[in-house]
Amino acid sequence: MVRLVPRAVGRLLRRGRDRTTEAVTPGGPCCFVPRDAGLFSNVNFIAGEIVGGREVFPLFTRDAVQPGTVLRQFPYFDPGGANAWFAFFAPLAYREGDDRHADMAFLKALPRTTCEAADPVFRIPAATRALYGRPDFATWRRAAHARLAPLLRPAPAVAAAVAAALATMPGPRIGVHVRHPSHGVEQGLVLFADYFAGVDRLLDETPDASLFLATDTELALAAFRLRYGDRVRWQPDVVRTSIDDLLVWADAATRGKVDAMGFVDGVGHQTHYRLAAAGGAEGLRAGTEAAIDVFTLAGCDSFVCTLSNFTLACAWLAPDQQQILVARRMI
């Protein structure tokens, strides 16, 4: 049963949002086709629209994307043409017995939304960072959780994988998310030493803690295994950027060949960029892995991270989780 948000809480969630008709007036059901961004960027856009009062139904099929659209960042489609959302999340049900999300004809007939009218804290990194500094942030997290957690639930296979991962983590759980360094355009320069400092401080407080590492680079996995040994858990056999590929990107960065998006000669080196450029054949797998990572991170007591869509999702999925944002050096 979906819990309703009291009006006062709804006003809190809508604080500071764009003053547009779509943003402030709850509308009827609408369909969201993925924008060209990472999976959890899309999820947070959807979350913001739901908080604004809309019934949003994601339709993640390639044929739903406007013809001629080039997707450089979003490879998360089912090659068979099914709605890939259901590989990552359960169908959205806005009331008891609501099975509309499974009806493809219903989805295709709905008006489209880009979710651009959602509260900026769900869409714009600067607004998200400001949210973290607000005195009512803890209250915001609890209110967002009450509205979103009953709706944005993991798909059964994702939930089973998350439960299995958390079952292997004795004692307090520390989650860590290490991103490809090309994310420096939004997160700045972040070093392994920054992550280690946050983790070490938590280990001083809880020496029996275990770690879950979510990362799209083999270098980060190697660094954490070297430092923390058997304490570290991670998803095995995940699509990750190799150490050599990361070195190629780093060499290009030193030569000034990286653009504002972190691309080298028009090619992105982050995992989802590479998968999109390759036609998205492994996109369904990568999306499932990302969902498992986020829900496992949300199951941790503490989270050492940079500001990202993973971080924001965990903020509303796990409102009592301690989040430690590492140093931010803009370059």
**Band of residue 73 on the pLDDT scale cut at 50, 70, 90:** confident
CA 132: distance to chain centroid?
16
How confident is the model over 92-129, as pLDDT tens digits? 999 999 999 999 999 999 999 999 999 999 999 999 99
| Mean predicted confidence (pLDDT) in 121-144 | 96
| Mean predicted confidence (pLDDT) in 48-62 | 97
Residue percentage of the chain with pLDDT more than 90: 64
pLDDT over 50 at 252, yes or no: yes
Among 42, 45, 63, 41, which residue's Cα sits nearest to residue 54? 45
pLDDT over 60 at 266, yes or no: no
Q: What pLDDT is recorded for position 256?
A: 52
**Band of residue 328 on the pLDDT scale cut at 50, 70, 90:** low
CATH code 3.40.50.300 for 156-325: no
How confident is the model over 269-313, as pLDDT tens digits? 456 566 655 666 688 999 999 999 999 999 999 999 999 999 999
Listed range (10-14, 250-254, 271-275) with the worst mean pLDDT:
10-14
How confident is the model over 223-236, as pLDDT tens digits? 899 999 999 999 99
Q: Roughly how many angstroms between the first and final C-alpha of the chain, as a whole number? A: 47
How confident is the model over 190-210, as pLDDT tens digits? 888 999 999 999 999 999 999
Q: What pLDDT is recorded for position 271?
A: 62
| Mean predicted confidence (pLDDT) in 147-175 | 97
| Mean predicted confidence (pLDDT) in 21-43 | 79
| Mean predicted confidence (pLDDT) in 233-242 | 80
More confident residue, 152 or 10: 152
Categorise residue 115: left if φ over 0, alpha if ψ from -120 to 50, beta otherwise: left
Comma-separated ranges of CATH 3.40.50.11350 domains in the chain: 156-325
